[in-house]
Structure 1
């Protein structure tokens, strides 16, 4: 059984000279939590995608993801 956890995000809107919102600032800890959630979601999807091939363990998926992330940083 999985429970949905709602993450409360404290937002500060950045406005332009016409008082129109152009950006949002959030605390770094909340940004890092969002990043972690997205990375975990991506790992789950990666594991599911290769169902037809050899299924990756969590450790293998983490290594593969780290390699992809490093490759993207180098680009």
Structure 2
């Protein structure tokens, strides 16, 4: 299981307003989410045609790039 070290940020009334995590933890979470998204894309391919891991990754990266551009 992923161990995430969190730093809590509170306002002047001691109300929790944010949580900080390290870049390394963020990158781990991002990788897990990307892998999950890749699996979903591979399962949802048209005509029930399965994508290979490399094909799925390339397709996912193209979608990710389109998102960045818009």
The number of equivalent residue pairs is 70
SS of equivalent to 1:9: coil
* RMSD, matched Cα: 1.2
Equivalent positions of 1:1-75 (< 5 A) are 6-50=1-45, 52-75=47-70
User: Whole-Å Cα distance in 2 between the matches of residues 12 and 27 of structure 1?
Assistant: 9
Q: Which blocks of at least 5 consecutive residues in structure 2 are unaligned?
A: none
SS of equivalent to 2:2: coil
Greater RCO (Cα-Cα under 8 Å, separation 6 or more) = 2
SS of equivalent to 1:12: strand
Q: Give the TM-score, by structure 1 length.
A: 0.87
Task: List, as ranges, runs of 4+ consecutive aligned residues in structure 1 with deviation greater than 6 Å.
Answer: none
